[in-house]
Amino acid sequence: MLHELQRNFASVALKNVTAPLLPHIEGPAGSKERRLGVYHANTINSLIDVLSDAYPVTQRIVGKRFFSTLAKSFIETAPPRQPTLFRYGSSLGDFLGDFAPAQDVPYLADIARLEWARIAAYFAEDYEPLNPQKLSAIGPEKIGDVCFKIAPSLHLVESPYPIFQVWAVNQPSCNTVPAIDFTNAEQGFVSRQANEVFQHAVTPGTFHWLRALSDGSTLGAATNDAMRHDQSFDLQNTLRQHLADGTFTTIYI
């Protein structure tokens, strides 16, 4: 009994389907619907707020009204599965990839994926970055066999569009808008160090190197992979940069 009633109430809250619940509500007909409508409005509006807080750049690009429309569609397709709302909305990027009314802005889905990567980095577990001396202690004959455990806050993002530039010019602090060449693909990463979330666009070589290392490749194999995609890949500088960025937590052979 109770479970059935609760299921019907969830349909009111999420979809405004009131008919099955009406016989259980006190009061005259029109009043019951209006009262149930309060729960629907509370639920949907609060979820739209959650999404608009999580996706400020996506919202800025399409405007508040359109964002509200797409958020409603998203909520219908993918209602929250857990009460921790800071985790709600992770699949908005994938949703936008298929959302017909948003296809005029072909980079929108990837912007949303970048914004979600920032949230995932923000809430990721704390970690100790790798002490570079541990790597120095490995002899040159073994260095190619080293594997890295990657920081829990590191997220790789790639797009056929210049999403890092689009994100940057859509920050409230950005006063000058440079010309953006929308034919430029961009790839990069988001991470967090000392409680600060940061992001960098990187060269294709570095991106493939990071991806290979994330997938568990040895340093040797990952470097070969990077060189295949980008002959100018500079291992020493890239490694130094990522040791400084706290990209790795431990090494193992």
Partner 1 sequence: MPPPSPQDPSTSSTRPSPIPAAAGVGLRHPHIAAFADGVAEATWVEIHSENFFAPGGPRMAQLDRVRKNYPISCHGVGLSLGTAEGLDQDHLRTLCRLVDRIDPILVSEHLSFSVVDNIYVNDLLPLPYTEEALEVVTRNIDQTQEALGRQILLENPSSYLTFTDSTFTECAFLSALVERTGCGLLLDVNNIYVSAQNNGIDAVAYLDGIPGNAVQEIHLAGHTVNGADDDRLLIDTHGDVIADPVWTLYEKTLNKIGPRPTLIEWDTNIPELNKLLAEAGKAQSRLDAISDNKGSIRVA
State the greatest distance between any 2 C-alpha atoms of the chain, in Å, as a whole number: 83
Q: Report how many residues bind partner 1 under the rule CB under 8 A.
A: 45
Contact status, residue 209 vs residue 238, Cβ threshold 8 Å: yes
Q: 246: left (phi > 0), else alpha (psi -120 to 50), else beta?
A: left
Q: How far is the CB of 64 from partner 1 (least distance, A)?
A: 16
Across the strands, what pairs with 148?
Answer: 251
Q: How far is the CB of 98 from partner 1 (least distance, A)?
A: 21
* Binder of partner 1 out of 16, 17, 20, 32 (CB under 8 A): 32
User: Dihedral of CA 209/212/215/218: which sign?
Assistant: negative
Separation of alpha carbons 207 and 189, rounded Å = 8
* 100-159 residues near partner 1, rule: CB under 8 A: 122-127, 152
- For the beta carbon of residue 132, count every other beta carbon within 10 angstroms: 13
* 149-208 residues near partner 1, rule: CB under 8 A: 152, 192, 195-196
Choices 36-44, 93-101, 220-228, 241-249; region in contact with partner 1 by CB under 8 A? 36-44
| Angle at alpha carbon of residue 163, lines to 123 and 153, rounded to 5° | 20
Separation of alpha carbons 171 and 57, rounded Å = 7
Q: Binding to partner 1 by residue 3, rule CB under 8 A?
A: yes
Q: How far is the CB of 41 from partner 1 (least distance, A)?
A: 9
Residue with tokens 């599965």: 81
Site string for partner 1, 53-92 (x = CB under 8 A): --------------------------xxxxxxxx------
Q: Which residue, 108 or 130, is less far from partner 1 as judged by CB?
A: 130
Residues that bind partner 1 (CB under 8 A): 1-3, 5-7, 9-10, 13-14, 23-27, 31-32, 34-36, 38-39, 42-43, 46-47, 50, 79-86, 122-127, 152, 192, 195-196
